[in-house]
Amino acid sequence: MTPNSLHARDIASLVHQQTNLDQHARDGAVIIARGEGCRVWDSEGKQYIEAMAGLWCASLGFSERRLADAAHRQMLELPYYHTFFQKGHTPAVELAEKLLAVAPAGMERVLFQCSGSEANDAAIKLAWLYWGVQGQPGRTKIIGRVRGYHGNTVASVSLSGQPHMHAGFNLPLPGFLHTDNPNFYRSSHDGETEEAFGERMADSLEALIVAEGPDTIAAFFAEPVQGGGGAITPPRGYFDRIQAVLRKYDILFIADEVICGFGRTGNMWGSDTYALQPDMISCAKQLSAAYQPISALMVGARVHEAMLEASRRHGSFGHGYTYGGHPVACAVALETLRIYEERDIVGHVRTVAPAFLDGLAAYADHPLVGDVRGVGLIAGVELMADKASRTPFPPGLGVGLRVQGGCEAAGLIVRAIGDRIAFTPPLIIDEGEIGEMCRRFGQGLDAAWCGMQAAPSLAAE
Ligand SMILES: Cc1ncc(COP(=O)(O)O)c(C=O)c1O
């Protein structure tokens, strides 16, 4: 690395997020220079298939001209305005209308923010507001799930079940609880059916609620498919049982659709795929195909009525962000939703999903692979030392990172989450590109396998 290279300047100036800082200081970063379709090129000219769509978000790939044009047009027309103090602008109104038109039944109003974390933060605040208005201010506790990922603001990271993001930060905040992770493959008992496993998960949630006191619980959050936890699909019947428990104790349910929203699971919403009936829905990422930072929180009738009542009591609805509902972001999101409709992106996901899921499942017999599971265009491949007994690799072996490294060498960007390899390619991926993605994955798996034969006890660098 030469002293004035981009890589050296990067090390000398930039803090990378969710990164081992010593490792970055030593090895530098892969700097992505440009993109086209489902592919990106790094600063050295190496090409990759981006099988994570960046961070589960670049649904239309990396070269959608219409989104750039929409941003440019809006910047010339009205580059900034806000929605505080009864002011507004056309793109925010049109986007809110459009979202409600495509939302699952029951959503009544939309609040805009800039990130998924902020949308979930707002949902937590609204859950507290709701119970205050109901005369039950003692209902403050928020339940998430082990390995759930809801963001990085102080509240949304507390809600996330990700101990490595709490460590050292004095987090989680008190009053944030985590119930079991529904990874059927990893956590089911021998011979247990998916339905029985789902029931056990719901029983465990109920036991937590009863132990804490139902009149202390405000809300439960869940991603329809857990993303940052490892692309974990819920087992059959799981959400039916979970929702029955929530109804029994009148606990608000927030569906975090930040990854699943806008077609990822083969329906517009993960809530459609799993028959969820949430009180609020947070969404972001694919809302703008990631071309602009924007998120939305949609609220159902009972939460909206509580907001109106709180505003009456306190003189205003005391919440908002300078850039929430930014006109350029709204214009880009609107254009994104138009493209989804015109190109029937949800239908496309359903068409290519079998090639995607079967292509990955073809590696189920690979010596490193224990399980392959997914829905639509999201899948997780779990690596296992011993498939029959479901014995994981010792964490120190870094098998997931070895596979991720092998894939990158083969020109494929995937994400190792522990020993689960996550795939969420752009929604525009076609069958040819899926075939190439799977071929490169096979190369990555083989490279990791060979590396482990040569140096079985070395942790991945
Ligand atoms: C399900 C889910 N919720 C919330 C977030 C946080 O979104 P952001 O990083 O935009 O704050 C993420 C980020 O990956 C996510 O996957």
> 261 CA distance to ligand 1 centroid (A)?
12
5: confidence class by pLDDT, cuts 50, 70, 90? very high
In 10 A of CB 384, how many CB atoms?
20
> 323 CA distance to ligand 1 centroid (A)?
18
What mean pLDDT do residues 143-170 have?
98
User: How much is the pTM?
Assistant: 0.97
Q: How many residues does the chain have?
A: 461
Q: Share the mean pLDDT of the chain.
A: 97
Tell whether the model's pLDDT for residue 206 goes beyond 80.
yes
DSSP 416: E
Which residue would you say has higher pLDDT here, 454 or 229?
229
Buried b (16+ CB within 10 A) or exposed e, 257-293: bbbbbbbbbbbbbbbebbebebbbbbbbbbbbbbbbb
Which residues are CB-neighbours of 249 under 8 A, at least 6 positions away? 206, 209, 214, 217
pLDDT for 70-106, tens place per residue?
999 999 999 999 999 999 999 999 999 999 999 999 9
Look at ligand 1, atom 13, and give the residue with the nearest C-alpha: 151
Tell whether the model's pLDDT for residue 402 goes beyond 80.
yes
- The letter for the amino acid at 21 is L
User: Pocket of ligand 1, candidates 258, 259, 265, 269: which has the most ligand atoms within 8 Å of its Cβ, to mutate?
Assistant: 258
Using CA atoms, how far apart are residues 84 and 164, in angstroms rounded to an integer? 36
Using CA atoms, how far apart are residues 134 and 140, in angstroms rounded to an integer? 12
Of ligand 1's listed atoms, the one at least distance from the Cα of 257 is 1
What is 1-50 written as a DSSP string?
A: --TTSHHHHHHHH-PPTTS-HHHHHHH--PPEEEEETTEEEETT--EEEE
In 10 A of CB 125, how many CB atoms?
14
> 153 CA distance to ligand 1 centroid (A)?
10
Tell whether the model's pLDDT for residue 441 goes beyond 80.
yes
For residue 215, the model assigns a pLDDT of 98
Using CA atoms, how far apart are residues 64 and 119, in angstroms rounded to an integer? 26
Of ligand 1's listed atoms, the one at least distance from the Cα of 227 is 16
pLDDT for 230-282, tens place per residue?
999 999 999 999 999 999 999 999 999 999 999 999 999 999 999 999 999 99
Query: Cα angle vertex 274, ends 268, 279, to 5°?
Result: 80
Helix, strand, or coil here: 226?
strand
The residue with tokens 């799977």 is 438
Tell whether the model's pLDDT for residue 460 goes beyond 70.
no
Pairing of strands 378-383, 420-423: antiparallel
Dihedral sign for Cα 59, 60, 65, 71, please: negative
For residue 456, the model assigns a pLDDT of 73
pLDDT for 104-155, tens place per residue?
999 999 999 999 999 999 999 999 999 999 999 999 999 999 999 999 999 9
Using CA atoms, how far apart are residues 289 and 313, in angstroms rounded to an integer? 39
Pocket of ligand 1 (CB under 6 A): 55, 115-117, 120, 149-151, 223, 227-228, 256, 258-259, 284
Of ligand 1's listed atoms, the one at least distance from the Cα of 118 is 11
Of 51, 182, 90, 127, residue with least CA distance to 444 = 51
> 367 CA distance to ligand 1 centroid (A)?
32
User: Pocket of ligand 1, candidates 113, 124, 150: which has the most ligand atoms within 8 Å of its Cβ, to mutate?
Assistant: 150
> 120 CA distance to ligand 1 centroid (A)?
9
For residue 458, the model assigns a pLDDT of 55
Using CA atoms, how far apart are residues 426 and 377, in angstroms rounded to an integer? 8
> 72 CA distance to ligand 1 centroid (A)?
26
For residue 461, the model assigns a pLDDT of 43
